[in-house]
Amino acid sequence: MTREPIWWDARLIVMRALSVIDAELRALAAYRAACAAAGDPVRSSAVVDRLLDERLELDHFGRPGEGSALG
C-alpha cells in the first residue's frame, strides 16, 4: 500500500539571509549582556542555539542571494 502525500502536512522551508540571522544574534547578545549587567536573570540560550543551527545549515547548503543555487 502506498501513502498519498498529505497537503496540509507539507512544511514550507524558508532559507533566510545570513545577514538577517547575524543581526538577530547581535540583538540577542546585546539583550543578554544588558540583562547580565543589570543583574537581571538571563534567559535560556535555546533561541541563540536555534539561530546558530540555522546559520550552520546555510553554510552547508549555500547562502541565498550570495551566488548559491538557491538564491
Confidence (pTM): 0.62
φ, ψ dihedrals at 62, nearest 5°: 105, 160
Number of residues in the chain: 71
pLDDT of residue 68: 44
Distance of alpha carbon 27 from alpha carbon 9, whole angstroms: 33
Q: What is the pLDDT along the chain (71 residues), one digit of tens a residue?
A: 555 555 555 565 666 788 999 999 999 999 999 999 999 998 888 999 999 999 998 877 665 555 444 44
For 67, left (φ over 0), alpha (ψ -120 to 50), or beta? left
Question: Residue ranges per domain, the chain?
Answer: 17-61
What cell does 59 get?
553554510
- Alpha-carbon Rg for the chain, nearest whole angstrom, is 17
